Amino acid sequence: MLPLRLEAEYFPMGFPLRISTNFQPALNPAALMWSRFPKLFDQSPMRLKIVVSGDSANSLPSDPPVLRGQQHLLSIVADRANFAAADLDSGFAHICVSREVASDPAYFRYHFLEPIAYVLIAARHIAFVHASCIALDGRAVLLCGSSGMGKTCLAYACARRGWTFLSGDAVAVANTGESHRIVGRPFEIRFRHTAARLFPELAGLPRALRPSGKTDIEADPRDLNISSMVEGTASHLVFLDRSDQLAATSLHGLSAEEARRELEQGILFGDQSIRDRQGRTLDRLGQLPAARLHYSDLNAAELALRELVGTGA
């Protein structure tokens, strides 16, 4: 067994994660993603060991890794040299990869580091919601919806008009018992490359070809002159229904039952105890005032959200 003499601790979504490895470049994407997160929760650290093999493969795996889970166990397998396993009950995971994979930050982050770290955290402490999030006067609004509903662009449009940005694509809802406490990912915004048509200031930012094959624009909110924060208290759920055709903007209230059904599409995994815990967290979240926003124009949508939060409806 290779000695893992390099150690670091980070706080993704505010929770401690202790990493040990034998290869410094394996820590670089972790530092990039998580070094700015403060410790928000006093929990025992999850543990992650990253073993980088000295064998040279000379290339990345030809096929994308396959993720499988059974009860409290989870695996990610690309090939015999690149794989990972996690025990969600104990909060421990192990990644074994080649030097080529560990030296490719985008590939290693996307296929191994992020999914393993976040599934460890979610299994114990949070439920993830596929949503962007912005706040006004301390009231955080979750903008929920499937891919293509414009979550990130609407959140950014709101931030340009004085809202505070928390997250562009995923929100963690804490299951610590504190009502509606949420944590965002406010240190980067990832847009589709077409967003530059809506926001001219994005045109000069670098594009990144992600391992998924999508071309994204990646930005630090600090470079976009918008305010951001890590955590907040959710006050509203808004489910987006964006139209490509010019259409009137409208908000329609949803019942708690309708909101909970929408949230059921959240990330639920693991054995029954884990699923039940995440379900209870989403149950509490579903009690918030909820609405469906039909929109095509970002400015009109922002005004509708401002009115919603201002009225406290």
Q: Give the domain CATH number at 145.
A: 3.40.50
**Of 124, 140, 161, which closes a domain?**
124
54 and 174 together in one domain: no
pLDDT at 78: 94
**Of 98, 124, 150, which closes a domain?**
124
Radius of gyration of the chain (CA): 20
How many domains is the chain partitioned into structurally? Answer: 2
89 and 132 together in one domain: no
209 and 274 together in one domain: yes
12 and 157 together in one domain: no
132 and 215 together in one domain: yes
63 and 150 together in one domain: no
291 and 169 together in one domain: yes
CA distance 205 to 200: 10
Answer whether residue 1 is part of any domain.
no
What is the rounded average pLDDT of the residues 148-177?
91
CA distance 208 to 190: 10
pLDDT band at 56 (very low <50, low <70, confident <90, very high): low
What is the rounded average pLDDT of the residues 160-175?
93
Whether the predicted pLDDT of 206 surpasses 90: no
The candidate with the shortest Cα–Cα distance to 43, out of 123, 112, 98, is 123
Class of residue 271 by CB neighbours under 10 A (exposed 0-12, middle 13-18, buried 19+) = middle
Which H or E run contains 280? helix 272-285
Residue 100, domain extent: 6-124
- Rounded to a whole number of angstroms, the distance between the first and last alpha carbons of the chain is 59
Dihedral of alpha carbons 257, 263, 268, 274, sign: negative
Average pLDDT, the chain: 90
Beta strands 189-192 and 215-219, pairing class: antiparallel
> Using alpha carbons only, what angle is made at residue 244 by residues 243 and 248, rounded to the nearest 5 degrees?
50
**Of 124, 152, 176, which closes a domain?**
124
What is the rounded average pLDDT of the residues 291-307?
95
Decide: 221 and 187 in contact? Cβ < 8 Å. yes
pTM: 0.90
pLDDT band at 44 (very low <50, low <70, confident <90, very high): very high
